[in-house]
């Protein structure tokens, strides 16, 4: 006779794991994308900001490689150099990109409105604050002091090149937060991200996921640009972004981190009823 044992976690939430750019800092996620545009321009291959946004959320070397495989970018590269982009070419662009990113990441990384209030509220509820990012550790070493000066001190930070296993869309950075924070069950965690690949990361780790449609990469506007739109102009942009994150599997999609407390309360109630991510 065989027995089947199923354990459903019904305890409280223990941690919220945040992405960085477009989620907690850098409304519109400009630091990684604009610098990529500039890095490609420096070698004579123009790319648009929209193209730079397509692989957002990936580790930056993988981001550059994927960007170079987009059909229009690949065609421009072939026209310029007479051959497809190779891994050595990716290394060359990465070597240009990294110093630019380190020197300029702080210029774009103001806190997103509502972020500090939300994080303070989550801490008051006893939740731990984790984080992971598509940025490599060198960039995070430049960004962390900027964020700390603004009042953001996550309990854990995992960079894209910290782990041998790799980065998104795999679960490893999110799970490294689970280990570092001492979380008892992955269902007690919420992953918050502005990119589809970041949502995949959370789902692959067995967590609840929340997509941020307006503040991040999918709308891709600065706060001033977003606020300058009329409500009628905002609606289709918000909807396209929300649809992409929902199609990626996000359990919830909201505009920004400022709306997160209500979602956290709802997830807590669902866990208490025995629901799972």
Least confident of 12-21, 55-64, 215-224, 246-255: 55-64
Structural domain harbouring 267 = 15-30+109-272
Residues 56 and 84 in one domain: yes
Residues 216 and 153 in one domain: yes
In a domain, 4, yes or no: no
Assess whether pLDDT exceeds 70 at residue 215. yes
Q: Which one from 19, 26, 62, 89 is the annotated catalytic residue?
A: 19
pTM exceeds cut of 0.85: yes
Q: Which one from 26, 60, 193, 255 is the annotated catalytic residue?
A: 60
44-56 pLDDT tens trace: 999 999 999 999 8
What is the reported pLDDT for 3? 46
CB burial class (10 A; 0-12, 13-18, 19+) of residue 44? Answer: exposed
Interatomic CA distance for residues 244 and 261, integer angstroms: 22
In a domain, 8, yes or no: no
In a domain, 207, yes or no: yes
In a domain, 5, yes or no: no
In a domain, 127, yes or no: yes
What is the reported pLDDT for 8? 81
**pLDDT, averaged across the chain:** 95
Assess whether pLDDT exceeds 80 at residue 1. no
CATH of the domain at 47: 1.10.150.240
Last residue of a domain, one of 73, 107, 141: 107
What is the reported pLDDT for 194? 97
Assess whether pLDDT exceeds 90 at residue 254. yes
Last residue of a domain, one of 91, 107, 123: 107
Assess whether pLDDT exceeds 70 at residue 127. yes
Assess whether pLDDT exceeds 80 at residue 2. no
CB burial class (10 A; 0-12, 13-18, 19+) of residue 15? Answer: buried
- What is the average pLDDT across 160-173? 95
CATH of the domain at 172: 3.40.50.1000
Please say if 184 is a catalytic residue.
no
Please say if 19 is a catalytic residue.
yes
- What is the average pLDDT across 146-156? 97
């Amino acid at each position: 006779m065989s027995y089947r044992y199923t354990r459903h976690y019904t305890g409280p939430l223990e941690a919220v794991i945040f992405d960085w750019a477009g989620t907690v800092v850098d409304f519109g996620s400009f630091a990684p994308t604009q610098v990529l545009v500039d890095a490609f321009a420096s070698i004579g291959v123009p790319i648009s900001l929209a193209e730079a946004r397509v692989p957002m959320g990936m580790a930056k070397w993988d981001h550059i490689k994927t960007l170079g495989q987009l059909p229009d970018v690949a065609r421009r590269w072939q026209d310029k150099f007479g051959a497809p982009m190779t891994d050595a070419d990716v290394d060359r662009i990465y070597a240009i990109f990294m110093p630019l990113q380190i020197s300029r990441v702080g210029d774009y990384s103001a806190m997103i409105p509502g972020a500090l209030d939300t994080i303070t509220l989550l801490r008051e509820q006893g939740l731990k604050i984790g984080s992971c990012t598509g940025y490599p550790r060198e960039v995070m070493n430049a960004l962390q002091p900027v964020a700390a000066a603004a009042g953001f001190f996550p309990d854990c930070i995992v960079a894209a090149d910290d782990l041998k296993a790799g980065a998104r869309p795999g679960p490893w950075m999110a799970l490294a937060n689970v280990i570092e924070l001492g979380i008892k069950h992955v269902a007690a965690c919420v992953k918050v991200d502005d990119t589809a690949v970041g949502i995949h990361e959370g789902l692959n780790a067995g967590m609840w996921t929340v997509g941020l449609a307006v503040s991040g990469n999918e709308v891709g506007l600065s706060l001033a640009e977003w606020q300058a739109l009329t409500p009628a102009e905002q609606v289709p942009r918000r909807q396209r972004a929300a649809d992409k994150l929902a199609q990626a599997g996000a359990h919830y999609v909201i505009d920004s981190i400022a709306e997160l407390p209500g979602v956290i309360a709802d997830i807590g109630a669902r866990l208490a009823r025995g629901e799972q991510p």
